[in-house]
Structure 1
Amino acid sequence: MDRRAAFCRDIARSAGAVALDGFTNRVAGFGMKGPQDFLTETDAAVERHLKARIAEEFPEDGFLGEEGGGAIKSDIWVVDPIDGTANFARDIPHFCISIAFVSNGETEIGAIYNPVLDELYFARRGHGGTRNGKALAVAQTSDFDAACVEFGWSNRKTNKRYLEVLSNILERGANVRRGASGALGLAYVADGRSDAYAELHMHAWDCLAGLLMVKEAGGAVAPFLSLGGLTKGGAVLAAAPGVAFGMSEATGIALEAGK
């Protein structure tokens, strides 16, 4: 696991270099995989880079990427080559590479890298988390009137349900924002920049690294892998302890037992 942890840090930065080059030098334009589901050439280039590096270093491990999919194995790397593609496509520098390593149903390692800001978030189960070497810690916020939370939108759930939950959060007094990168939204909870992140449905590549970071930073999270999230996705909630219960009530998303 030590070797995989060091390798994960390395490939997050090398993939970030590919993404940053694409962001800086790309030709204008983008494709669409579906409604509000953007695709650029750089998504594919970053995923190819990561898949090749992992296959070379750990050929026995599985690989699951947003663009190319993959086969589930007991040891598997779960990758979003660019989380926040809509931002990337519109020249907004709020996007990242998200990488998680899952072994026997547990997320062991996670990295989220924003190459524009050169911010590398990293966590290892039982070892805490860091941003550029500085320890991560969730916010101490307990008053919703002072809380700033992020609520992601998903076209896999109805707008009616989204608006109901949004209204519930606002009625508690929190400020609600949406940055259009769920992985960075989760990293910001781990870093105390946000008090909570919630989304009614996320895929594994969007959230596994971030959920691990929030747990390692002292936050509360919803169960994800135990509910089949690796294959089918699911609801995501991550929060500072002081607002976690209220966010769970407002969103209808349960927290892990004991949290």
Structure 2
Amino acid sequence: MSEPTQHDLDIDARYACAKNLALEAARLGMDFYRRRETLAVEHKGSDQQDVVSIADKNIEDFIRARLAEQFPQDGFLGEESGSADLKARCVWVIDPIDGTACFVNGLHNWCVSIGLLVDGEPFIGAIADPNHDELFHGCLGRGAYVNQTRLKASAATHVREGLTGAGTFHPRGKEHFIPFLEKLLAEGGMFIRNGSGALMTAYVAAGRLIGYYETELKSWDCLAGLVLVAEAGGLRNDFFRNAGLLRGNPYLVAAPGVYRQLSELIGPSLDA
């Protein structure tokens, strides 16, 4: 498939919009965050750890309205408000607050994630972390950056040489997660979980983490970050198989020197 040209789709405008909109939405998020104790918070289904706040909904509405105004022909997929026009060449995939549980509990591990699929491929990503004044951003073929600093995946060749991000989700439980942690520790590795899939993916692109495994992740948590990982020289599993865009899948991104080792520690469930 040939790469879409700027003339076809005005990639420049979409990239600039993604960066600016992520920063604007993050500032709006900080306004909510400073008064988080007054926010209405709901639980999704029976899982007490999976929460959504009025901030998530308001910020997604803000982002969606801005994108519809600037690029009315584009499709949209958001964590809170669902999908529209997914057959469009350009589809925005949004998480208004990735790390909501951290957000509502006063932990500084949350961000705004705005990604763009072009012809089904991750093409543009912007992840704004207002707590640390960092904007991770990238565009296919143009590199990936944190603010103005170019991102590069870790040069590690063994899991003992750095930290691995890891996470799980209660509906899928501990079936694959605990065995992975046991094997990682047995190899001399160490793990971290910060509560935001988008940030941990960005940290792999930045070389801060050597890899990140999640037993099941949604596309809005990682779409933007996948662009960064690819442009920083990292690797990923086939996340989009079996309708992964809508349903989610097991997820692994890693530095090239440890990807195979991590995938073997996870085992067949990664591609099940």
TM-score (norm: length of structure 1): 0.94
Alignment equivalent of 1:7, drawn from 17, 22, 34: 17
SS at match of 1:179: coil
The equivalences for 1:193-208 within 5 A come to 193-208=208-223
Pairwise CA distance, 1:161: 2.1
Alignment equivalent of 1:69, drawn from 82, 90, 93: 82
Closer, same or farther in 2 for the Cα pair 1:254/1:218, shift >3 Å?
A: farther
Letter in 1 for 2:87: K
Letter in 2 for 1:12: A
The equivalences for 1:219-230 within 5 A come to 219-230=234-245
Give the equivalent residue in structure 2 for 1:237. Answer: 252
Q: Does 1:83 align with 2:98?
A: yes
Checking the alignment, whether the CA contact within 8 Å between 2:211 and 2:254 is kept in structure 1 is yes
Q: CA–CA distance in 2 between the matches of 1:92 and 1:179?
A: 9
Checking the alignment, whether the CA contact within 8 Å between 1:169 and 1:251 is kept in structure 2 is no
The equivalences for 1:1-259 within 5 A come to 1-28=11-38, 30-34=41-45, 35=47, 36-71=49-84, 72-74=86-88, 75-252=90-267
Residues matched between the structures, number: 256
Closer, same or farther in 2 for the Cα pair 1:50/1:2, shift >3 Å?
A: same
Closer, same or farther in 2 for the Cα pair 1:254/1:38, shift >3 Å?
A: closer
Closer, same or farther in 2 for the Cα pair 1:217/1:56, shift >3 Å?
A: same
SS at match of 2:257: helix
Unaligned 5+ segments in structure 2 are 1-10
Query: What's the RMSD between the two structures over aligned residues?
Result: 1.7
SS at match of 2:252: strand
**How far does the alpha carbon of each residue in 1:38-87 deviate from its partner, in whole angstroms, 9 at most, with x for none?**
11111011101100100100011111110111122332100000000000
Closer, same or farther in 2 for the Cα pair 1:2/1:46, shift >3 Å?
A: same
Q: CA–CA distance in 1 between the matches of 2:62 and 2:22?
A: 10
